[in-house]
Amino acid sequence: MKTSIKIDNVLQGFLESLYSENVSRISAANYLSDINQFFPWFARQINFSGVYVESFSDLLPFFKKDSGKIYKEYLLQLKIPVSSINRALSSLRRLSRYFLSRGLLTFDFMEATGNVKRYQKESQTLASHPLLSEFEKHLSMES
């Protein structure tokens, strides 16, 4: 279910702040693209509790300090390329700083969310590989 984001005064203000900082139109479009990927996921998390959201203004009361971390884990599960995940996280960090600067949130929802390191994603993939448990059993039987 793809939910498109309604450009309300919150998101419009974010875009205007990007342009006032001389961010190129291409970079601004990338920020908006990443936010458009985040919005449906976050809206679904909220909709599970029975609340309907259609704009970023509707989302603000539902942000938590770990929202960014949970989204990062979701992206890792989808096996999205590391560079795409990190770009999305960067966009959301910028959005979170905007929320703070405007007093829309009192905390940085991306504060504890660092970039994915290439080896981190590879090790997570290896750790979940089904043959790993078989190999561990084999090693324990040899001991």
Rounded to whole angstroms, how far apart are CA atoms 139 and 131?
Answer: 12
- Ranking 13-27, 38-52, 68-82, 92-106 by mean pLDDT, the lowest is 38-52
Cβ atoms of 85 and 75 within 8 Å: the answer is: yes
pLDDT at residue 123, as a whole number: 47
Q: How much is the pTM?
A: 0.77
Amino acid (one-letter) located at 12: Q
Q: Would you say residue 77 has pLDDT above 70?
A: yes
Q: With a cut of 70, say whether residue 134 has pLDDT above it.
A: no
pLDDT in tens, 95-127: 999 999 999 999 999 998 999 987 654 445 555
